[in-house]
Chain A
Amino acid sequence: MRTLKTSEAAAVLNVSPNTLRAWERRFGYPKPQRTAGKHRLYTHGEVAALRDALQEGLSISSAISRARESLSADTAILVGALQSFELDRADVAMEAALALRSVERSVEEVLLPSVTEIGSRHGFDSAPWAFAARWAADWLQRAQRLAPPPMRPAAVLIGDATRDDLDTDALALKALQLFSVRSGARVLVLPVSGVAGLVDVLRAFEPQIVVVAGSAAADDHVARWAYRVRSATGALQMTLYRRGGAIDRPARTAGRRLADAPGEAHRQVLDMLDGRSRQLPGAATSPSEPAVLAHRRRANA
Protein backbone atom coordinates (compact mmCIF):
# COMPACT_ATOMS: atom_id res chain seq x y z
CA MET A 1 0.00 0.00 0.00
CA ARG A 2 1.38 3.37 -1.03
CA THR A 3 1.16 6.15 1.51
CA LEU A 4 1.62 9.90 1.19
CA LYS A 5 2.81 12.57 3.57
CA THR A 6 0.54 15.57 4.10
CA SER A 7 2.44 17.74 1.63
CA GLU A 8 2.40 14.97 -1.00
CA ALA A 9 -1.32 14.33 -0.56
CA ALA A 10 -2.00 18.07 -0.75
CA ALA A 11 -0.01 18.24 -3.99
CA VAL A 12 -2.01 15.38 -5.51
CA LEU A 13 -5.25 17.19 -4.66
CA ASN A 14 -3.86 20.58 -5.63
CA VAL A 15 -4.74 22.11 -2.28
CA SER A 16 -2.75 23.32 0.68
CA PRO A 17 -1.90 21.06 3.64
CA ASN A 18 -4.11 23.32 5.78
CA THR A 19 -7.06 22.59 3.49
CA LEU A 20 -6.47 18.88 3.86
CA ARG A 21 -6.48 19.19 7.64
CA ALA A 22 -9.65 21.34 7.47
CA TRP A 23 -11.38 18.61 5.44
CA GLU A 24 -10.32 16.01 7.94
CA ARG A 25 -11.89 18.04 10.76
CA ARG A 26 -15.14 18.79 8.93
CA PHE A 27 -15.71 15.73 6.77
CA GLY A 28 -13.52 13.06 8.41
CA TYR A 29 -11.97 12.34 5.04
CA PRO A 30 -9.33 11.63 3.89
CA LYS A 31 -8.62 9.82 7.11
CA PRO A 32 -4.87 9.57 7.70
CA GLN A 33 -3.00 7.07 9.77
CA ARG A 34 -0.32 8.36 12.11
CA THR A 35 3.34 7.52 12.09
CA ALA A 36 5.19 6.76 15.31
CA GLY A 37 6.00 10.48 15.42
CA LYS A 38 2.26 11.31 15.08
CA HIS A 39 2.65 12.67 11.55
CA ARG A 40 -0.24 12.14 9.16
CA LEU A 41 0.12 9.45 6.54
CA TYR A 42 -2.52 9.32 3.82
CA THR A 43 -3.44 6.31 1.74
CA HIS A 44 -2.77 6.96 -1.92
CA GLY A 45 -5.92 5.14 -3.00
CA GLU A 46 -8.09 7.36 -0.83
CA VAL A 47 -6.44 10.53 -2.04
CA ALA A 48 -6.64 9.44 -5.67
CA ALA A 49 -10.32 8.54 -5.31
CA LEU A 50 -10.98 11.99 -3.86
CA ARG A 51 -8.99 13.69 -6.61
CA ASP A 52 -11.11 11.98 -9.26
CA ALA A 53 -14.33 12.75 -7.42
CA LEU A 54 -13.41 16.41 -7.01
CA GLN A 55 -13.17 16.75 -10.79
CA GLU A 56 -16.82 15.82 -11.11
CA GLY A 57 -18.20 17.01 -7.80
CA LEU A 58 -20.36 20.01 -6.98
CA SER A 59 -19.22 20.20 -3.40
CA ILE A 60 -16.52 18.72 -1.23
CA SER A 61 -19.21 16.71 0.58
CA SER A 62 -20.57 15.16 -2.59
CA ALA A 63 -17.05 14.43 -3.84
CA ILE A 64 -16.18 12.75 -0.57
CA SER A 65 -19.41 10.80 -0.67
CA ARG A 66 -18.50 9.61 -4.15
CA ALA A 67 -14.94 8.74 -3.13
CA ARG A 68 -16.25 6.76 -0.17
CA GLU A 69 -18.62 4.88 -2.44
CA SER A 70 -15.82 3.92 -4.77
CA LEU A 71 -13.81 2.62 -1.83
CA SER A 72 -16.75 0.75 -0.33
CA ALA A 73 -16.90 -1.37 -3.47
CA ASP A 74 -14.37 -3.68 -1.80
CA THR A 75 -16.87 -4.49 0.93
CA ALA A 76 -19.54 -5.34 -1.61
CA ILE A 77 -17.13 -7.63 -3.46
CA LEU A 78 -16.09 -9.40 -0.27
CA VAL A 79 -19.70 -9.86 0.82
CA GLY A 80 -20.46 -11.30 -2.62
CA ALA A 81 -17.54 -13.70 -2.41
CA LEU A 82 -18.51 -14.88 1.07
CA GLN A 83 -22.15 -15.18 0.04
CA SER A 84 -21.16 -17.52 -2.77
CA PHE A 85 -18.63 -19.37 -0.57
CA GLU A 86 -15.67 -18.54 -2.79
CA LEU A 87 -12.62 -18.38 -0.55
CA ASP A 88 -10.21 -17.45 -3.32
CA ARG A 89 -12.35 -14.53 -4.39
CA ALA A 90 -12.62 -13.40 -0.77
CA ASP A 91 -8.82 -13.42 -0.52
CA VAL A 92 -8.58 -11.42 -3.74
CA ALA A 93 -11.07 -8.88 -2.39
CA MET A 94 -8.93 -8.40 0.69
CA GLU A 95 -5.84 -8.02 -1.51
CA ALA A 96 -7.66 -5.28 -3.40
CA ALA A 97 -8.61 -3.63 -0.12
CA LEU A 98 -5.00 -3.77 1.01
CA ALA A 99 -3.92 -1.95 -2.13
CA LEU A 100 -5.86 1.10 -0.95
CA ARG A 101 -5.66 0.85 2.82
CA SER A 102 -3.47 -0.23 5.68
CA VAL A 103 -3.99 -3.69 7.18
CA GLU A 104 -5.74 -2.10 10.16
CA ARG A 105 -8.18 -0.15 8.03
CA SER A 106 -8.74 -3.07 5.66
CA VAL A 107 -9.76 -5.15 8.64
CA GLU A 108 -11.95 -2.45 10.18
CA GLU A 109 -13.54 -1.11 7.01
CA VAL A 110 -13.79 -4.19 4.81
CA LEU A 111 -13.28 -7.51 6.59
CA LEU A 112 -15.26 -7.00 9.79
CA PRO A 113 -18.22 -5.14 8.18
CA SER A 114 -18.46 -7.77 5.44
CA VAL A 115 -18.52 -10.68 7.84
CA THR A 116 -21.01 -8.86 10.06
CA GLU A 117 -23.18 -8.27 7.01
CA ILE A 118 -23.21 -12.02 6.33
CA GLY A 119 -24.23 -12.61 9.93
CA SER A 120 -26.98 -10.01 9.74
CA ARG A 121 -28.37 -11.50 6.57
CA HIS A 122 -28.32 -15.15 7.57
CA GLY A 123 -28.21 -15.06 11.35
CA PHE A 124 -25.25 -15.43 13.67
CA ASP A 125 -25.97 -19.11 14.19
CA SER A 126 -26.14 -19.97 10.49
CA ALA A 127 -23.77 -21.95 8.28
CA PRO A 128 -22.93 -18.93 6.06
CA TRP A 129 -21.92 -16.99 9.19
CA ALA A 130 -19.77 -19.90 10.36
CA PHE A 131 -18.16 -20.08 6.91
CA ALA A 132 -17.46 -16.34 6.82
CA ALA A 133 -16.28 -16.14 10.42
CA ARG A 134 -13.88 -19.05 9.99
CA TRP A 135 -12.46 -17.53 6.82
CA ALA A 136 -12.04 -14.16 8.55
CA ALA A 137 -10.34 -15.76 11.56
CA ASP A 138 -8.01 -17.61 9.22
CA TRP A 139 -7.24 -14.41 7.31
CA LEU A 140 -6.43 -12.55 10.52
CA GLN A 141 -4.21 -15.43 11.59
CA ARG A 142 -2.34 -15.31 8.28
CA ALA A 143 -1.91 -11.57 8.56
CA GLN A 144 -0.49 -12.01 12.03
CA ARG A 145 2.13 -14.40 10.72
CA LEU A 146 3.36 -11.66 8.40
CA ALA A 147 3.66 -9.13 11.23
CA PRO A 148 7.13 -7.90 12.18
CA PRO A 149 8.75 -9.33 15.31
CA PRO A 150 8.08 -7.51 18.63
CA MET A 151 9.92 -4.17 18.83
CA ARG A 152 8.34 -2.57 21.88
CA PRO A 153 9.15 -3.57 25.41
CA ALA A 154 5.43 -4.04 25.88
CA ALA A 155 3.40 -7.11 26.63
CA VAL A 156 -0.36 -7.38 26.48
CA LEU A 157 -2.25 -10.23 28.06
CA ILE A 158 -5.68 -10.85 26.60
CA GLY A 159 -8.11 -12.95 28.57
CA ASP A 160 -10.34 -14.63 26.05
CA ALA A 161 -13.87 -14.58 27.45
CA THR A 162 -15.55 -15.34 24.14
CA ARG A 163 -17.68 -18.44 23.64
CA ASP A 164 -15.76 -19.93 20.71
CA ASP A 165 -14.49 -18.98 17.24
CA LEU A 166 -18.03 -18.26 16.10
CA ASP A 167 -18.71 -15.76 18.86
CA THR A 168 -19.27 -12.34 17.29
CA ASP A 169 -16.68 -10.86 19.66
CA ALA A 170 -14.04 -13.41 18.72
CA LEU A 171 -13.16 -11.69 15.42
CA ALA A 172 -12.84 -8.33 17.13
CA LEU A 173 -10.54 -9.92 19.68
CA LYS A 174 -8.43 -11.41 16.90
CA ALA A 175 -8.34 -8.02 15.17
CA LEU A 176 -7.18 -6.34 18.38
CA GLN A 177 -4.55 -9.03 18.74
CA LEU A 178 -3.37 -8.49 15.17
CA PHE A 179 -3.17 -4.71 15.56
CA SER A 180 -1.22 -5.05 18.80
CA VAL A 181 1.22 -7.52 17.27
CA ARG A 182 1.68 -5.28 14.24
CA SER A 183 2.50 -2.35 16.48
CA GLY A 184 5.39 -4.34 17.90
CA ALA A 185 3.94 -5.49 21.19
CA ARG A 186 4.10 -9.02 22.55
CA VAL A 187 0.61 -10.43 22.86
CA LEU A 188 -0.55 -13.51 24.69
CA VAL A 189 -4.13 -14.72 24.49
CA LEU A 190 -5.27 -17.11 27.20
CA PRO A 191 -8.77 -18.40 27.89
CA VAL A 192 -10.27 -17.08 31.12
CA SER A 193 -11.50 -20.57 31.86
CA GLY A 194 -8.00 -21.92 32.47
CA VAL A 195 -6.28 -20.90 35.68
CA ALA A 196 -4.12 -23.95 36.29
CA GLY A 197 -0.48 -23.08 35.69
CA LEU A 198 -1.38 -19.48 34.91
CA VAL A 199 1.08 -18.04 37.42
CA ASP A 200 4.07 -19.73 35.78
CA VAL A 201 3.08 -18.51 32.35
CA LEU A 202 2.63 -14.94 33.53
CA ARG A 203 5.90 -14.83 35.41
CA ALA A 204 7.62 -15.65 32.15
CA PHE A 205 5.49 -13.34 30.01
CA GLU A 206 5.39 -10.31 32.39
CA PRO A 207 2.41 -8.42 30.93
CA GLN A 208 1.97 -4.68 31.43
CA ILE A 209 -1.71 -4.57 30.54
CA VAL A 210 -4.48 -7.11 30.87
CA VAL A 211 -7.49 -7.03 28.57
CA VAL A 212 -10.52 -9.17 29.25
CA ALA A 213 -12.27 -9.58 25.91
CA GLY A 214 -15.66 -11.05 25.19
CA SER A 215 -18.87 -11.35 27.12
CA ALA A 216 -19.61 -15.05 27.03
CA ALA A 217 -17.67 -16.17 30.11
CA ALA A 218 -19.40 -15.81 33.47
CA ASP A 219 -18.30 -13.06 35.82
CA ASP A 220 -17.14 -15.58 38.39
CA HIS A 221 -14.79 -17.21 35.92
CA VAL A 222 -13.39 -13.86 34.91
CA ALA A 223 -13.00 -12.77 38.53
CA ARG A 224 -11.16 -15.97 39.42
CA TRP A 225 -8.87 -15.60 36.41
CA ALA A 226 -8.22 -11.91 37.12
CA TYR A 227 -7.41 -12.71 40.74
CA ARG A 228 -4.81 -15.25 39.62
CA VAL A 229 -3.36 -12.76 37.16
CA ARG A 230 -3.04 -10.07 39.79
CA SER A 231 -1.58 -12.39 42.35
CA ALA A 232 1.08 -13.37 39.81
CA THR A 233 1.86 -9.98 38.35
CA GLY A 234 0.82 -7.39 40.95
CA ALA A 235 -1.52 -4.47 40.40
CA LEU A 236 -1.91 -4.20 36.65
CA GLN A 237 -4.27 -2.11 34.57
CA MET A 238 -7.25 -4.32 33.90
CA THR A 239 -9.32 -3.32 30.89
CA LEU A 240 -12.52 -4.68 29.42
CA TYR A 241 -13.07 -5.14 25.73
CA ARG A 242 -16.54 -5.94 24.39
CA ARG A 243 -17.52 -7.22 27.77
CA GLY A 244 -21.14 -6.14 27.73
CA GLY A 245 -24.06 -7.90 29.27
CA ALA A 246 -24.96 -7.25 32.88
CA ILE A 247 -25.40 -3.58 33.64
CA ASP A 248 -23.38 -3.71 36.82
CA ARG A 249 -20.48 -5.53 35.24
CA PRO A 250 -18.09 -2.62 35.00
CA ALA A 251 -18.65 -1.75 38.62
CA ARG A 252 -18.05 -5.29 39.78
CA THR A 253 -14.88 -5.84 37.81
CA ALA A 254 -13.62 -2.26 38.00
CA GLY A 255 -12.23 -2.63 34.52
CA ARG A 256 -11.76 0.26 32.19
CA ARG A 257 -13.74 -0.13 29.05
CA LEU A 258 -12.06 -0.03 25.68
CA ALA A 259 -13.89 1.18 22.59
CA ASP A 260 -15.74 -1.51 20.64
CA ALA A 261 -13.89 -0.81 17.40
CA PRO A 262 -10.63 -2.77 17.46
CA GLY A 263 -8.64 0.11 15.94
CA GLU A 264 -9.71 2.59 18.60
CA ALA A 265 -9.30 -0.03 21.33
CA HIS A 266 -5.80 -0.67 20.07
CA ARG A 267 -4.98 3.04 20.22
CA GLN A 268 -6.25 3.17 23.79
CA VAL A 269 -4.10 0.19 24.71
CA LEU A 270 -1.07 1.85 23.14
CA ASP A 271 -1.78 5.04 25.05
CA MET A 272 -1.92 3.10 28.27
CA LEU A 273 1.27 1.30 27.40
CA ASP A 274 2.91 4.62 26.69
CA GLY A 275 1.81 5.85 30.09
CA ARG A 276 -0.42 8.48 28.54
CA SER A 277 -3.69 6.88 29.48
CA ARG A 278 -6.51 9.19 28.61
CA GLN A 279 -9.81 9.05 30.41
CA LEU A 280 -11.79 6.31 28.74
CA PRO A 281 -15.56 6.37 28.49
CA GLY A 282 -17.00 4.63 31.52
CA ALA A 283 -13.60 4.56 33.16
CA ALA A 284 -13.56 3.76 36.82
CA THR A 285 -11.53 6.05 39.04
CA SER A 286 -8.39 4.19 39.99
CA PRO A 287 -9.49 2.01 42.83
CA SER A 288 -7.20 1.82 45.81
CA GLU A 289 -7.95 -1.87 46.04
CA PRO A 290 -8.48 -4.07 43.02
CA ALA A 291 -12.19 -4.46 42.73
CA VAL A 292 -11.78 -8.03 41.63
CA LEU A 293 -10.34 -8.80 45.01
CA ALA A 294 -13.09 -6.83 46.69
CA HIS A 295 -15.62 -8.79 44.72
CA ARG A 296 -13.99 -12.02 45.84
CA ARG A 297 -14.07 -10.91 49.46
CA ARG A 298 -17.70 -9.98 49.19
CA ALA A 299 -18.42 -13.30 47.59
CA ASN A 300 -16.53 -15.17 50.31
CA ALA A 301 -18.29 -13.20 53.05
Chain B
Amino acid sequence: MSARPQLVALPGYRDRQPDVHFCGHCGHAAVVEIAQPASRVCSRCELGLLIGAPPDLAPAPSDPFLLVDSTLSVCGISGLAEDLLGVVETEAVNRHITEFLVPADAEVSGPGDLVNLLVHAARGAGEVHDVVLRPSDEFGIRYWARIGPCGPPRAALLVLGDGRIR
Protein backbone atom coordinates (compact mmCIF):
# COMPACT_ATOMS: atom_id res chain seq x y z
CA MET B 1 0.00 0.00 0.00
CA SER B 2 1.34 3.37 -0.97
CA ALA B 3 2.06 5.91 1.73
CA ARG B 4 0.98 8.64 -0.60
CA PRO B 5 -1.95 10.66 0.77
CA GLN B 6 -5.19 10.25 -1.09
CA LEU B 7 -8.31 12.34 -1.37
CA VAL B 8 -11.37 10.42 -0.30
CA ALA B 9 -14.92 11.63 -0.82
CA LEU B 10 -16.98 11.92 2.33
CA PRO B 11 -19.83 9.43 2.57
CA GLY B 12 -22.88 10.79 0.82
CA TYR B 13 -21.06 13.86 -0.44
CA ARG B 14 -20.46 12.35 -3.87
CA ASP B 15 -24.19 11.86 -4.35
CA ARG B 16 -24.95 15.45 -3.53
CA GLN B 17 -26.35 17.34 -6.49
CA PRO B 18 -24.79 20.66 -7.41
CA ASP B 19 -26.45 23.78 -6.07
CA VAL B 20 -28.94 25.60 -8.20
CA HIS B 21 -28.77 29.38 -8.35
CA PHE B 22 -31.78 31.58 -7.90
CA CYS B 23 -32.48 35.27 -7.42
CA GLY B 24 -32.79 36.41 -3.81
CA HIS B 25 -35.62 38.76 -4.75
CA CYS B 26 -37.78 37.21 -7.46
CA GLY B 27 -36.79 33.57 -6.87
CA HIS B 28 -36.27 32.81 -10.55
CA ALA B 29 -33.44 30.54 -11.56
CA ALA B 30 -30.28 32.30 -12.69
CA VAL B 31 -30.14 33.19 -16.34
CA VAL B 32 -26.65 32.69 -17.69
CA GLU B 33 -25.77 35.10 -20.42
CA ILE B 34 -22.52 34.35 -22.14
CA ALA B 35 -22.28 37.78 -23.71
CA GLN B 36 -22.27 39.56 -20.37
CA PRO B 37 -19.56 39.35 -17.77
CA ALA B 38 -20.46 37.40 -14.66
CA SER B 39 -22.46 39.40 -12.16
CA ARG B 40 -24.28 38.33 -9.05
CA VAL B 41 -27.18 40.62 -9.81
CA CYS B 42 -30.29 38.96 -11.24
CA SER B 43 -30.62 40.00 -14.87
CA ARG B 44 -34.37 39.45 -14.75
CA CYS B 45 -35.55 41.70 -11.91
CA GLU B 46 -32.26 43.56 -11.18
CA LEU B 47 -33.23 43.75 -7.50
CA GLY B 48 -31.71 40.57 -6.11
CA LEU B 49 -28.40 38.75 -5.86
CA LEU B 50 -27.94 35.21 -7.11
CA ILE B 51 -27.74 32.66 -4.31
CA GLY B 52 -26.96 28.95 -4.52
CA ALA B 53 -28.92 26.24 -2.68
CA PRO B 54 -29.46 22.48 -2.92
CA PRO B 55 -32.12 21.61 -5.52
CA ASP B 56 -34.52 20.22 -2.93
CA LEU B 57 -34.35 23.45 -0.97
CA ALA B 58 -34.16 26.12 -3.67
CA PRO B 59 -37.42 28.04 -3.98
CA ALA B 60 -39.65 28.13 -7.00
CA PRO B 61 -40.54 31.60 -8.29
CA SER B 62 -43.90 31.21 -6.52
CA ASP B 63 -42.36 30.48 -3.11
CA PRO B 64 -41.84 33.25 -0.57
CA PHE B 65 -38.49 32.95 1.21
CA LEU B 66 -36.10 34.64 3.59
CA LEU B 67 -32.33 34.59 3.98
CA VAL B 68 -30.99 34.56 7.51
CA ASP B 69 -27.38 34.76 8.68
CA SER B 70 -25.77 32.96 11.60
CA THR B 71 -26.69 35.78 13.99
CA LEU B 72 -30.33 35.13 13.02
CA SER B 73 -30.63 38.52 11.37
CA VAL B 74 -32.67 38.74 8.22
CA CYS B 75 -30.34 39.43 5.30
CA GLY B 76 -32.78 39.21 2.46
CA ILE B 77 -36.44 38.73 1.83
CA SER B 78 -38.09 37.87 -1.45
CA GLY B 79 -40.74 39.99 -3.10
CA LEU B 80 -43.46 37.43 -2.32
CA ALA B 81 -42.35 37.18 1.31
CA GLU B 82 -42.58 40.97 1.53
CA ASP B 83 -46.23 40.72 0.49
CA LEU B 84 -46.91 37.74 2.73
CA LEU B 85 -45.38 39.22 5.88
CA GLY B 86 -46.38 42.80 5.13
CA VAL B 87 -42.89 44.22 5.37
CA VAL B 88 -40.49 45.70 2.84
CA GLU B 89 -37.00 44.32 2.54
CA THR B 90 -35.26 47.58 3.38
CA GLU B 91 -37.03 47.61 6.75
CA ALA B 92 -36.66 43.89 7.42
CA VAL B 93 -32.92 43.64 6.85
CA ASN B 94 -30.79 43.38 10.02
CA ARG B 95 -33.82 42.57 12.18
CA HIS B 96 -34.09 39.32 14.11
CA ILE B 97 -35.97 36.53 12.35
CA THR B 98 -38.24 36.01 15.36
CA GLU B 99 -39.66 39.48 14.81
CA PHE B 100 -41.34 38.00 11.77
CA LEU B 101 -41.67 34.24 12.27
CA VAL B 102 -41.74 31.95 15.28
CA PRO B 103 -42.35 28.21 15.63
CA ALA B 104 -46.03 27.37 15.44
CA ASP B 105 -45.53 24.83 18.22
CA ALA B 106 -44.08 26.79 21.11
CA GLU B 107 -43.15 23.65 23.02
CA VAL B 108 -40.71 22.36 20.44
CA SER B 109 -37.19 22.69 21.76
CA GLY B 110 -33.80 21.11 21.30
CA PRO B 111 -32.24 20.32 17.96
CA GLY B 112 -35.56 20.66 16.12
CA ASP B 113 -36.41 24.19 17.11
CA LEU B 114 -36.26 27.09 14.73
CA VAL B 115 -33.20 28.82 16.14
CA ASN B 116 -31.13 25.65 16.15
CA LEU B 117 -32.11 24.78 12.63
CA LEU B 118 -31.30 28.24 11.34
CA VAL B 119 -27.96 28.42 13.11
CA HIS B 120 -26.95 24.99 11.82
CA ALA B 121 -28.06 25.82 8.31
CA ALA B 122 -26.26 29.16 8.38
CA ARG B 123 -23.09 27.30 9.36
CA GLY B 124 -23.42 25.15 6.29
CA ALA B 125 -24.97 21.95 7.69
CA GLY B 126 -26.14 20.09 4.64
CA GLU B 127 -29.56 18.77 5.55
CA VAL B 128 -32.90 20.31 4.76
CA HIS B 129 -35.52 20.32 7.53
CA ASP B 130 -39.24 20.93 7.54
CA VAL B 131 -40.80 23.14 10.20
CA VAL B 132 -44.14 24.75 10.87
CA LEU B 133 -44.09 28.47 11.60
CA ARG B 134 -46.47 31.29 12.28
CA PRO B 135 -46.18 35.08 12.10
CA SER B 136 -44.75 36.35 15.37
CA ASP B 137 -47.73 38.56 16.17
CA GLU B 138 -50.54 36.33 14.91
CA PHE B 139 -52.09 33.08 15.97
CA GLY B 140 -54.15 30.80 13.77
CA ILE B 141 -51.93 31.12 10.72
CA ARG B 142 -49.36 28.48 9.88
CA TYR B 143 -46.71 28.25 7.28
CA TRP B 144 -44.98 25.03 6.31
CA ALA B 145 -41.38 25.89 5.73
CA ARG B 146 -38.15 24.20 4.79
CA ILE B 147 -34.82 25.33 6.14
CA GLY B 148 -31.39 24.58 4.78
CA PRO B 149 -28.05 26.10 3.86
CA CYS B 150 -27.46 28.50 1.00
CA GLY B 151 -24.75 30.78 -0.25
CA PRO B 152 -22.25 32.11 -0.87
CA PRO B 153 -21.97 33.88 1.47
CA ARG B 154 -23.07 31.16 3.84
CA ALA B 155 -26.55 31.63 5.28
CA ALA B 156 -29.77 29.85 6.06
CA LEU B 157 -32.57 29.77 3.53
CA LEU B 158 -36.10 29.60 4.88
CA VAL B 159 -38.62 28.79 2.17
CA LEU B 160 -42.27 29.20 3.08
CA GLY B 161 -44.21 26.52 1.27
CA ASP B 162 -47.86 25.66 0.79
CA GLY B 163 -47.93 22.57 2.96
CA ARG B 164 -46.98 20.01 0.36
CA ILE B 165 -44.73 17.27 1.65
CA ARG B 166 -41.40 17.16 -0.09
Q: A residues engaging B (CB < 8 A)? A: 13-16, 18-19, 22-23, 26-27, 54, 56-63, 65
Please name all residues of chain A whose beta carbon is closer than 8 Å to the beta carbon of B92 when the two chains form the complex.
61
**Could you say which of B37, B38, B47 contacts A60, with CB atoms under 8 Å apart?**
B47
In whole Å, how far is B97's beta carbon from the nearest beta carbon of chain A? 13
Q: A97 to B5, alpha carbons, bound, how many Å? A: 54
Since A58-B69, A59-B93 are in contact, a sample of 4 more A-B pairs with Cβ atoms closer than 8 Å, ordered by chain A residue number, is A22-B46, A57-B75, A58-B75, A60-B41
Q: A121 to B94, alpha carbons, bound, how many Å? A: 26
Q: A27-B90, A65-B94 are in contact. Are A58 and B76 (CB under 8 A)?
A: yes
Please name all residues of chain B whose beta carbon is closer than 8 Å to the beta carbon of A62 when the two chains form the complex.
75-76, 93-94
Q: Name, among A54, A56, A59, the residue most crowded by chain B CB atoms within 10 Å (CB to CB).
A: A59
In whole Å, how far is B45's beta carbon from the nearest beta carbon of chain A? 9
- B51, A58: Cβ atoms under 8 Å? yes
By size class, the interface of chain B is: 20 to 34
Q: What are 11 A-B pairs with beta-carbon distances under 8 A?
A: A14-B37, A14-B41, A15-B41, A22-B47, A58-B24, A58-B76, A59-B24, A59-B77, A60-B48, A61-B89, A63-B49
- B46, A16: Cβ atoms under 8 Å? yes
Interface residues of B in 50-90 (CB under 8 A from A): 51, 67, 69, 75-77, 89-90
**Could you say which of B25, B37, B39, B153 contacts A56, with CB atoms under 8 Å apart?**
B153
Please name all residues of chain B whose beta carbon is closer than 8 Å to the beta carbon of A56 when the two chains form the complex.
153
In whole Å, how far is B91's beta carbon from the nearest beta carbon of chain A? 9
- A59, B76: Cβ atoms under 8 Å? yes
In whole Å, how far is A191's beta carbon from the nearest beta carbon of chain B? 43
| Minimal Cβ-Cβ distance residue in B for A16 | B46
Q: A15 to B49, alpha carbons, bound, how many Å? A: 11
Please name all residues of chain B whose beta carbon is closer than 8 Å to the beta carbon of A57 when the two chains form the complex.
49, 75, 153
Q: A18-B46, A56-B153 are in contact. Are A61 and B76 (CB under 8 A)?
A: yes
Q: B145 in the interface, Cβ–Cβ < 8 Å?
A: no
- B76, A15: Cβ atoms under 8 Å? no
Interface residues of B in 13-59 (CB under 8 A from A): 24-25, 37-41, 46-49, 51
- A58, B47: Cβ atoms under 8 Å? no
In whole Å, how far is B96's beta carbon from the nearest beta carbon of chain A? 14
Q: A61 to B75, alpha carbons, bound, how many Å? A: 8
The 6 closest A-B pairs by CB, nearest first: A59-B76, A58-B75, A19-B46, A61-B93, A14-B39, A62-B75
- B25, A60: Cβ atoms under 8 Å? yes
- A61, B153: Cβ atoms under 8 Å? no
Please name all residues of chain A whose beta carbon is closer than 8 Å to the beta carbon of B40 when the two chains form the complex.
54
Please name all residues of chain B whose beta carbon is closer than 8 Å to the beta carbon of A59 when the two chains form the complex.
24-25, 48-49, 67, 75-77, 89, 93
Q: Name, among A23, A26, A58, A63, the residue most crowded by chain B CB atoms within 10 Å (CB to CB).
A: A58
Q: Name, among B38, B51, B89, the residue most crowded by chain A CB atoms within 10 Å (CB to CB).
A: B89
Q: B155 in the interface, Cβ–Cβ < 8 Å?
A: yes
| Minimal Cβ-Cβ distance residue in B for A58 | B75
Q: A60 to B46, alpha carbons, bound, how many Å? A: 9
Q: Name, among B24, B37, B77, the residue most crowded by chain A CB atoms within 10 Å (CB to CB).
A: B24
Please name all residues of chain A whose beta carbon is closer than 8 Å to the beta carbon of B89 when the two chains form the complex.
59, 61
In whole Å, how far is B64's beta carbon from the nearest beta carbon of chain A? 14
| Minimal Cβ-Cβ distance residue in B for A69 | B94
Q: A60 to B153, alpha carbons, bound, how many Å? A: 13
In whole Å, how far is A59's beta carbon from the nearest beta carbon of chain B? 3
Interface residues of B in 110-143 (CB under 8 A from A): none
Q: A59 to B94, alpha carbons, bound, how many Å? A: 11
In whole Å, how far is A241's beta carbon from the nearest beta carbon of chain B? 30
Please name all residues of chain A whose beta carbon is closer than 8 Å to the beta carbon of B69 when the two chains form the complex.
58
Please name all residues of chain B whose beta carbon is closer than 8 Å to the beta carbon of A15 when the two chains form the complex.
39, 41, 46
- A58, B39: Cβ atoms under 8 Å? no
- B41, A58: Cβ atoms under 8 Å? no
Q: A16 to B45, alpha carbons, bound, how many Å? A: 12
Q: A14-B37, A65-B93 are in contact. Are A58 and B67 (CB under 8 A)?
A: yes
Q: Name, among B38, B48, B77, B93, the residue most crowded by chain A CB atoms within 10 Å (CB to CB).
A: B93
